[in-house]
Chain A
């Protein structure tokens, strides 16, 4: 399978807490991308980390990548109710040109 596998499947936290989710994949990647989907809405591209990068930040998001373990993590700091969504990681494979697969995602619920 070319898709990433997110863990945990579901995460429930309170506003202000940090949310961490992990992603594992199986083959060599060009980059790894994280997307967010609010219920029933289109996916939104959050952040992209290249295979030669180890960490990247964007606002309250922090992404790490460990290519030796074929894993990535997404940290959302100081969560807000608006962060309630499903989060997907997509490993962009070196030879995946055109094929772009999504896993089941991590469903995050942030309660006030």
Chain B
């Protein structure tokens, strides 16, 4: 089944403890992206990647890192999480920058205390 898989589904962590949210897709998509969703603010793009080793900042990149060493994987790294990064995170992938539409993962609900 074609899908985008995020892990973990839920995560509670403490301020300052480095964490990684993984994202993997099995559709051979070139394009991958991370979003966060917060009440009243909608979905905001954090980072995106047009292909392997090519990444760029979205609208809210501060406090996050990404890497794209393989086509299928696009992990989101929080080097020193803070409570304002408590959010619902989504990974998405597509052909050709989303012109044909995105496939989204199921989301990761992160709580930083």
Contact = CB atoms under 8 A, between A and B. Distances in A.
Contacts of B45: 99-101
Interface residues on B, range: 20 to 34
B102 interface: yes
B112 interface: no
Contacts of B31: 98
Interface string A71-112: 000000000000000001000100011111111110000000
A105 B42 contact: yes
B99 interface: yes
A100 B106 contact: no
A42 B104 contact: yes
A30 interface: yes
B99 A92 contact: yes
Contact of B107 (A41, A48, A96, A97): A41
Q: Which residue among A30, A44, A88, A99 has the maximum number of chain B CB atoms within 10 Å of its CB?
A: A99
Interface in B67-113: 88, 90, 92, 97-107, 109
Interface of B: 4, 31, 33, 35, 42-43, 45, 48, 50, 56, 58-59, 88, 90, 92, 97-107, 109
